[in-house]
């Protein structure tokens, strides 16, 4: 069988790497299983895309749809047109989409509209309940047309069941992002900012912000960053800046001797900083998962999360988007009262193997 693996944005690359390795193992064992890696080109900047292929040993894509930048609708349209053309010329047996980015939704739609190709959604069933997030729309649309669902938690399973998905199409397997983290933990790289800012383990804060609700309004973004810096007890605040946020920062004139605004980091460098930080403050979902597994306190500047297990089990806490909530959270951190957290079930580094084993069973591969 031929499996298309779709990747288009930074979180996707982290999630597909172990799936590719697991398929190669099946193929080497004599199973009739081949893959085709399709890069949609949603993230095309080297720091947001190319470095991940190098660091995570992901093979070069078989196809690059080169969607590039644009509005949500423009990107969706370009990806659908490009993937439809590929499928019409050379169809696959199964399309695997991961996560909740535009590429995930666009390719799942194209696959179903071209000969009703089966779609497997890795990380299916997660929900934030916040329909202002483009990712939530992507999740709902993708899950509404997917055939198989590989989930990260019991919460995701229940979300799918409530929406009418039969039990026999839902497979609780764990988290492929954590597969990648465990594999590469021994290879994490100290970035240049470590020496430049004279960082030491546990003596700095790592911050990421990119959600439109936090970064598109200059006044709000300035309030958040100012409150974080003022609450950080003079610890360095390291801020790798997402391209969306960089455009806004240029107009705000935010500066402080403890604030270090740096370019986006590669996977190995960024997680080196997370692993050794005093805490993480973010509005990213994936980072909350990585911080949970590494046992690092995590503060999330959002009103909801599609990964509630990082809060109920892990080290994450939702602060909301009100800057007034930041100082009390830092007081809790510095008082030593932040929760220790545990690792969610099946986040053990073997998720991709479970996914590919299940696909082999579904398709009766010998």
Q: Calculate the alpha carbon distances from 222 to 108, 228, 249, 264, 343 in Å.
A: 38, 10, 8, 20, 34
- Mean pLDDT across 26-42: 94
d(CA 26, CA 19): 11
Closest C-alpha among 175, 83, 102 to residue 141: 102
Quote the mean pLDDT of the chain.
94
pLDDT of the residue at 277: 98
| All CATH 3.40.50.2000 domain ranges in the chain, comma separated | 2-175+347-362, 189-334
Whether the predicted pLDDT of 123 surpasses 90? yes
In tens, the pLDDT along 52-100 reads 888 999 999 999 998 888 888 999 999 999 999 999 999 999 999 999 9
Tokens of 303: 């009103």
CATH entry 3.50.50.60 includes domain 189-334: no
195-198 long-range Cβ contacts below 8 angstroms, 24+ apart: 196/260, 197/236, 197/238, 197/260
Answer yes or no: are the C-beta atoms of 152 and 345 closer than 8 Å.
Answer: no
CATH code for 2-175+347-362? 3.40.50.2000
- Write out pLDDT tens, residues 310-323: 999 999 999 999 99
Q: How would you list the strands of the sheet with 298-300, edge to edge?
A: 259-262, 237-240, 205-208, 279-282, 298-300, 316-318
Confidence class of residue 47 from pLDDT cuts 50, 70 and 90? Answer: low
Give one DSSP letter per residue of 4-17, joined into a string. Answer: EEEE-SHHHHHHHH
Provide the sign of the torsion angle of the four alpha carbons 188, 190, 194, 200, taken in this order.
positive
Phi, psi for residue 248 in degrees, rounded to 5: -75, -40
- Average pLDDT (134-144) is 97
Active site (catalytic) residues:
210
Q: Single out the residue of 284, 361, 304 nearest to residue 120, CA to CA.
A: 361
Q: Are 147 and 171 in contact (CB under 8 A)?
A: no
Predicted pLDDT at 291: 98
pLDDT (tens digit, 9 = 90+) per residue, 244-280? 677 778 788 888 999 999 999 999 999 999 999 999 9
């Amino acid at each position: 069988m031929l499996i298309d693996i779709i990747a288009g944005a930074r979180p996707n690359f982290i999630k597909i790497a172990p799936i590719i390795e697991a398929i190669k193992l099946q193929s080497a064992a004599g199973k009739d299983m081949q893959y085709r890696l399709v890069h949609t080109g949603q993230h095309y900047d080297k720091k947001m895309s190319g470095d991940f292929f190098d660091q995570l040993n992901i093979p070069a894509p078989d196809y690059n749809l080169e969607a590039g930048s644009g509005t949500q609708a423009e990107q969706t349209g370009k990806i659908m047109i490009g993937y439809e053309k590929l499928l019409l010329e050379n169809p696959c047996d199964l399309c695997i989409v991961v996560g909740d980015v535009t590429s995930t939704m666009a390719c799942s739609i194209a696959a179903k509209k071209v000969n009703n190709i089966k779609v497997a959604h890795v990380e299916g069933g997660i929900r934030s309940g916040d329909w202002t997030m483009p990712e939530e729309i992507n999740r709902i649309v993708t899950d509404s047309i997917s055939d198989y669902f590989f989930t990260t938690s019991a919460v995701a399973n229940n979300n799918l069941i409530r929406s009418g998905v039969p039990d026999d199409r839902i497979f609780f397997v764990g988290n492929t992002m954590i597969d990648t983290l465990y594999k590469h933990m021994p290879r994490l790289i100290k970035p240049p900012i470590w020496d430049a800012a004279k960082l030491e383990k546990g003596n700095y804060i790592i911050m990421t912000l990119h959600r439109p609700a936090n970064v598109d309004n200059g006044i709000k973004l300035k309030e958040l960053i100012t409150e974080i810096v003022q609450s950080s007890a003079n610890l360095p605040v390291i801020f790798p800046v997402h391209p969306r946020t960089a455009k806004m920062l240029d107009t705000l004139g935010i500066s402080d001797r403890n604030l270090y605004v740096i370019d986006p980091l590669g996977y190995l460098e960024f997680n080196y900083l997370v692993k050794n930080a005093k805490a993480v403050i973010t509005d990213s979902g994936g980072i909350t998962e990585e911080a949970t597994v590494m046992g690092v306190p995590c503060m999330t500047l959002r009103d909801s999360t599609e990964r509630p297990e990082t809060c109920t089990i892990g080290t994450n806490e939702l602060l909301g988007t009100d800057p007034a909530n930041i100082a009390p959270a830092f007081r809790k951190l510095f008082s030593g009262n932040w929760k220790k957290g545990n690792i969610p079930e099946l986040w053990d580094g073997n998720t991709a193997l479970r996914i590919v084993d299940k696909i082999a069973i579904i398709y009766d591969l010998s």
